[in-house]
């Protein structure tokens, strides 16, 4: 994964490189580094851990070069040590890389045989040595890169810096995103437009297989066949301001609290509030009546949004839906039918597996809809129809507001499908849209239970494992609750369909095991209560998330009952997500973890 940046500047660039890397930390944060051309020398500064360590290194040992590259890393090959941190360099070339070079072992063996000596355990370093080997054979930098790229298998975005070439930088992309930023007598490369926003809003996205030769005044793009390629230059619209935490202790807390507003904004984009009708922002290029099956694909939290949506499409539109995590769909050769619909869901729009699943579906001749939060992302650009979520920038690694906004979009789409297929009448549509319109207010009411959850987190933080149970649409929410807790508090957690409890996880239950039961008073409530009885009979500590009716009907003693506002039962996950997120957040705060940048994770996963 990782974030990369390159600057051909008019003055010293080290500070700008770091500023840009701060905006790329969502792509990884286990080490960072920069390289600049200092006169005729390549110089590097690298540091383990967060960017502040690199900043400290640079303030003790500054760089003044006007041409430089930078990198923030999420380790794939080799531990997050300084020697594995990018840039990697040989005598004449320094590079930064995002992605994985799959054939690095054979390339490394070949290069070592020819005398190259490696200083890191990374896959990346082979690229530097490969280019160096061509330079030593008298190739120009451009020809050396051109000769090297076809030898690389895997996914990459690369930026190259060459000793003795102060007005040159080369970039290449295959699989991982890379953008050119056009400045005034300056040029930039970056993993995304956000990284370059402090310097320029004029952006050209490289397409897959492209590589570019940049000077301060011009960028010449070549496609994978070596032909000059013309790619559109756009105004990015990415804000040059770093999003701040406002008065919140963490971005995650801020983002949880923003949900009333951003879910409301997303809703406003998809419904006509006055008429209580669905009003999608774009006309879909297909009729739901012609779709035999929907295939939903995503990763992580986004996949749980898809899982909830499966229930909605089945129930409201009577459509068969398959939901897959993207890393499975792409390789299991799923028999998708031409003309059917594939929906991919992604906050970042850059997740490598999700992108691959989208391409797989396109290649099979399916219509493709992407539900994305970053409208300029690769997934957005490559899908037939983009349905944006309006969550705004999400910085906390654990997704919160993007999830509820994804649910809102999927709910609107499921209603639209039901209507078009004649499963829902005008009255039904108005009823369901009316229920969606209530959601932002209900989220605000759910946020009011935060003090109770804060207290409860003190108990949860003492546990070594937590079980989450739910039925129907509360089942994927149980999965999401468990994911949220484990990713930021590092407490082991499992989500289960409540009915599956007796088929295994019940063996884990004892007095030390908190069991979070997500059970709005809906048509499966009674069944879930029976499962709760089974937990209670074995001494488990139940935390019940329900509404006032559920709280009075549940006949089981619980450690805590979190009472959420009454609401119609179809769209409860958008509201019950709030206590689930708050519980994970406050537990992590009690545990003292790095809530916004938990260990080993990254916000955007651009490797498979
Ligand atoms: C990472 C993040 C998760 C996110 C998942 C999918 O694992 O840590 O929070 O849900 O990627 O990301 P996407 O950007 O495709 O929604």
| pLDDT tens column, 189-199 | 999 888 999 99
Q: Which of 140-154, 288-302, 310-324, 328-342 has the lowest mean pLDDT?
A: 328-342
Residue 527 bears catalytic tag = no
Per-residue pLDDT, averaged over 160-169, amounts to 97
Task: For residue 462, indicate whether it is catalytic.
Answer: no
| 115 phi-psi bin (left φ>0, alpha ψ -120 to 50, beta other) | left
Average pLDDT over residues 36-54: 95
pLDDT higher than threshold 70 for residue 273: yes
Q: CB within 6 Å of ligand 1 — which residues?
A: 299-302, 346-348, 351, 354, 397-399, 601, 603-605
Residue carrying structure tokens 């990346």: 124
**How big is the chain, counted in residues?**
608
Q: Whole-angstrom Cα distance, residue 425 to residue 436?
A: 17
Q: Answer yes or no: are the C-beta atoms of 536 and 557 closer than 8 Å.
A: yes
pLDDT for the residue numbered 194: 85
Q: How many CA atoms lie within 13 A of 241 on its CB side?
A: 3
Least trusted range by pLDDT, from 164-168, 267-271, 308-312, 407-411: 267-271
pLDDT of 116 higher than 70: yes
Instruction: Please give the backbone phi and psi of residue 505, each rounded to the nearest 5 degrees, phi first.
Output: -60, -20
State residue 511's pLDDT score.
85
Beta strands per DSSP E along 49-126: 67-73, 88-89, 93-101
Contact 384, 369 (CB under 8 A): yes
Whether pLDDT at 502 is above 90: no
Please say whether the beta carbons of 271 and 280 come within 8 A: no
Whole-number Å distance, alpha carbon 298 to ligand 1 midpoint, is 9
Strands (E), 194-289: 202-205, 211-214, 219-222, 233-235, 271-272, 277-278
The alpha carbon of 427 and the centre of ligand 1 are apart by a number of angstroms equal to: 37
- Cross-strand pairs, 38: 41
Separation of alpha carbons 509 and 250, rounded Å: 33
Q: Find the angle CA(522)-CA(427)-CA(259) to the nearest 5 degrees.
A: 55
Return the CATH fold of 3-235: 3.60.20
**CATH architecture label of 448-592:** 3-Layer(aba) Sandwich (3.40)
Question: Does 10 score more than 70 pLDDT?
Answer: yes
Q: Pocket of ligand 1, candidates 349, 399, 597, 607: which has the most ligand atoms within 8 Å of its Cβ, to mutate? A: 399
pTM confidence score: 0.84
Question: In the chain, how many H helices and how many E strands?
Answer: 19, 26
Pocket test for ligand 1, best of 603, 606, 607 (most atoms within 8 A of CB): 603
pLDDT tens for 358-415 read: 999 999 999 999 999 998 889 999 999 999 999 998 999 999 999 999 999 999 999 9
Residues 32 and 21: beta-carbon distance below 8 Å: yes
Beta-carbon contacts of residue 406 (< 8 Å; ≥ 6 apart)? 302, 305, 345, 347, 371, 389
Question: What is the C-alpha to C-alpha distance for residues 224 and 158, in angstroms, rounded to an integer?
Answer: 14
404, 605, 608: which to mutate for ligand 1, most atoms within 8 A of CB? Answer: 605
Torsion of CA 507, 508, 511, 515, to 10 degrees: -110
Where is 174: in which H helix or E strand?
strand 169-174
Nearest residue to 163 (alpha-carbon basis) of 69, 58, 33:
69
Q: What is the pLDDT of residue 1?
A: 65
> Measured from the CA of 487, which atom of ligand 1 is nearest?
8
| Centroid of ligand 1 to alpha carbon of 345 (angstroms) | 10
Stretch 177-198: mean pLDDT, rounded? 93
Q: What is the mean pLDDT of residues 346-367?
A: 95
The residue whose CA has the least distance to atom 7 of ligand 1 is 300
Options 2, 405, 484, 486, the catalytic residue: 2
Most confident of the following: 232-246, 360-374, 492-506: 360-374
pLDDT band at 479 (very low <50, low <70, confident <90, very high): very high
Q: What is the pLDDT of residue 154?
A: 85
pLDDT value of position 222: 97
Return the structure tokens found at 33. Answer: 């580094």
The residues of the chain that CATH labels 3.40.50.10490 are 448-592
* pLDDT mean over 538-546: 92
């Amino acid at each position: 994964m990782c974030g990369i940046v390159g600057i051909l500047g008019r003055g010293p660039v080290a500070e700008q490189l770091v500023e840009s890397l701060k905006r790329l930390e969502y792509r990884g944060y286990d080490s960072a580094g920069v390289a600049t051309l200092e006169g005729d020398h390549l110089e590097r500064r690298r540091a383990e851990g967060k960017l502040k360590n690199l900043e400290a290194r640079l303030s003790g040992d500054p760089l003044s070069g006007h041409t430089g590259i930078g990198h923030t890393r999420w380790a794939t090959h080799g531990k997050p040590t300084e020697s594995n941190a990018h840039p990697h360099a040989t005598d004449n070339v320094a590079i930064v890389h995002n992605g994985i070079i799959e054939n690095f072992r054979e390339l490394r063996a070949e290069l070592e045989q020819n005398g190259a000596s490696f200083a890191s355990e990374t896959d990346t370093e082979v690229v530097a040595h490969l280019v160096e080997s061509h330079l030593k054979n008298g190739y120009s930098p451009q020809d050396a890169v051109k000769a090297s790229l076809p030898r690389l298998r895997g996914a990459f975005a690369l930026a190259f810096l060459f000793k003795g070439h102060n007005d040159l930088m080369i970039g290449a992309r295959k699989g991982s995103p890379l953008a050119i930023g056009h400045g005034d007598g300056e040029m930039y490369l970056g993993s995304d437009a956000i990284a370059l926003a402090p310097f320029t809003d004029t952006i050209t996205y490289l397409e897959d297989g492209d590589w570019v030769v940049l000077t301060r005044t011009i960028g010449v793009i070549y496609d994978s066949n070596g032909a000059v390629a013309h790619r559109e230059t756009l105004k990015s619209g990415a804000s040059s301001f770093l999003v701040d935490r406002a008065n919140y202790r963490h971005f995650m807390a801020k983002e949880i609290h923003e949900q009333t507003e951003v879910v409301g904004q997303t809703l406003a984009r998809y419904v006509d509030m006055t008429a209580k009708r669905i009003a999608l922002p774009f006309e879909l290029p297909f009729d739901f009546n012609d779709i035999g099956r929907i295939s939903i694909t995503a990763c992580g939290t986004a996949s749980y949004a898809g899982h909830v949506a499966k229930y909605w499409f089945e129930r409201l539109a009577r459509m068969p839906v398959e939901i897959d995590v993207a890393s499975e769909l792409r390789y299991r050769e799923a028999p998708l039918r031409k003309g059917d619909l594939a929906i991919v869901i992604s906050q970042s729009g850059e997740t490598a597996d999700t992108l691959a699943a989208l391409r797989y579906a396109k290649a099979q001749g399916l219509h493709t809809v992407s539900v994305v939060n970053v409208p300029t992302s690769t997934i957005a650009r490559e899908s037939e129809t983009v349905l944006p979520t309006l969550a705004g920038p999400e910085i906390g690694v654990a997704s919160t507001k993007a999830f509820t906004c994804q649910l809102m979009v999927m709910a609107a789409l499921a209603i639209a499908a039901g209507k078009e297929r004649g499963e829902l009448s005008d009255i039904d549509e108005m009823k369901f849209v009316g229920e969606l319109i209530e959601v932002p207010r209900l989220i605000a009411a759910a946020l009011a239970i935060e003090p109770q959850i804060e207290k409860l987190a003190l108990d949860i933080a003492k546990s070594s494992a937590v079980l989450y149970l739910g039925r129907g649409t509360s089942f994927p929410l149980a999965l999401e609750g468990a994911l949220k807790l484990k990713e930021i508090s590092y407490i082991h957690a499992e989500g289960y369909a409540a009915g599956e409890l007796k088929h295994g996880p019940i063996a884990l239950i004892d007095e030390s095991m908190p069991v979070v039961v997500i059970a709005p008073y809906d048509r499966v409530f009674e069944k879930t209560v029976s499962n709760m009885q089974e937990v209670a009979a074995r001494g488990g500590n139940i935390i019940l998330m329900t509404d006032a009716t559920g709280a009075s009907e549940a006949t089981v003693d619980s450690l805590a009952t979190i009472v959420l506002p009454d609401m119609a039962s179809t769209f409860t996950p958008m509201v019950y997500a709030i206590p689930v997120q708050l519980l994970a957040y406050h537990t992590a705060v009690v545990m003292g973890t790095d809530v916004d940048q938990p260990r080993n994770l990254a916000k955007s996963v651009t490797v498979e």
